[in-house]
Structure 1
Amino acid sequence: MTVTATLPGLSAGTWTIDPLHSEVGFTARHMMVSKVRGSFGDVTGTVVVADDLSASTAEATIQLGSVTTGSADRDAHLRSADFFDVENNPEMTFRSTSFDGETLTGDLTIKGVTKPVTLDVEFGGVGTDPWGNEKAGFEATGEIDRTDWGLTWNANLEKGGVLVSEKIKLALDIQLGKQA
């Protein structure tokens, strides 16, 4: 007997990312002693929830030029050819390949390189806003090695180590709106 995962209150249909109530964030180690956090402000996407949750799909597009870390100089460096090369690669995309209610796996494309990524997902629930719109919330976390996507710029430190970690932690807080 096969048991299909369900998420209480989440109905089948098409849901879109609400960019005003969603955040795609990341954390990198700086000089191996502290953390720098950033996020992308321009995120769009669609989730199609199927009656069989495992048949659901998710797609997202993130404009790399919308990166913000709290430092204009660092943001400009991230947009440069040393990292995202926004002029030639303005966006990154994610397309799911599987979802079981707790784990989302998909293909992440950055700078023309596509690699699989697995995210741990926590379902926040479903609610109706004051205007009658159905909303659902999810949090997702994971870790990637940025060098897998050709993001290899770094600087060696005098006493050992490097300026920017290769391991990047991802933290997504996504609100979806149900489409009529």
Structure 2
Amino acid sequence: MTETDQSLRGTWLFDPTHTRLGFSARHAMVTRVRGSFNDFDGRIEVAPASAESGLDAHVEVRVRTASVDTRNADRDAHLRSEDFFDAERFPEMVFRSTTIDEVGENAYLAVGELTIKGIAKQVGVPIELTGVQRDPMGNLRAGFEGTRRVDRRDWGLEWQMPLDAGGVLVSEKITLELEISAVKQEDDAASDGGQPADGETAGEEPTGV
């Protein structure tokens, strides 16, 4: 097991102030609209593993659908409606991994169930480990990035409007965009500097960062 593999062992929590869980879609066949979710939590568990068993890890991400943000209030309200996420009936979408395989240097494939509007479908998400560093507050951070193209209709997100000149208003293929900063949960002995001061949360940085 490499030094990086050793440092990944343990529990990691997503830092929402430095993480983006987003998506992009084509609009009117000519431009791209991007959005993200502002309310979510994620957890990564990496257990000790032998060379024979490989990486023993699990990821769970829970996203509040009402927090969708595309920088347009009318569009966001439509996305929360029954036409799309139906946020009142289905307040969360969840991804739970079943396997995480190391497929290259700092490259992983997380396979699991993505549940949206009560519909669970298996997806595989390629993930790149972009680095592991200790920040100025003493927190050990790991960065991950990944993208995956999916068909929104697989999860009942079927609203559409045809265009007069052909094509559709909103693309059916959506690109998931993940930029994750995860903070390792360490005890006092592991990192005295990683303990939050009064009024701070784990992973919080000085004002202005």
TM range (shorter): over 0.9
User: Quick check: 1:176 aligned with 2:182?
Assistant: yes
**Is 1:151 aligned to 2:157, yes or no?**
yes
**Preserved CA contact (<8 Å) 1:7 1:123:** no
Q: Any residues of structure 2 matched to 1:1-180 within 5 Å, and which?
A: 7=4, 10-52=7-49, 54-101=55-102, 102-180=108-186
Normalising by structure 2, what TM-score?
0.81
Unaligned runs of 5+ in 2: 103-107, 187-209
* 1:160 to partner: Cα distance: 1.2
| TM value normalised by structure 1 | 0.93
Amino acid at match of 1:80: S
**Does 1 or 2 have the higher relative contact order (CA < 8 Å, sep 6+)?**
1
* Percentage of matched positions with identical amino acids: 51
Q: Provide the C-alpha distance between the structure 1 equivalents of 2:140 and 2:42, rounded to a whole number of angstroms.
A: 16
Q: Which amino acid aligns with 1:178?
A: K
**Aligned-residue CA RMSD (Å):** 1.5
Amino acid in the other structure paired with 1:179: Q
- Structure 1 gaps of 5+ residues are none
Distance 1:5 1:134, change over 3 A: closer
CA–CA distance in 2 between the matches of 1:122 and 1:56? 15
1:6 Cα offset (Å):
7.7
Residue 162 of structure 1 aligns to a residue in which SS?
coil
Q: 1:169 to 1:39 in 2, by over 3 A?
A: same
> May I ask how many residue pairs the two structures share in their alignment?
177
Rate the CA distance shift 1:129–1:5 in 2: closer, same or farther, 3 A. closer
| Deviation of the 1:100 alpha carbon | 1.6
Following superposition, the deviation at residue 9 of structure 1 comes to: 6.0
Query: Aligned partners of 1:145, 1:5: CA distance in 2, in Å?
Result: 37
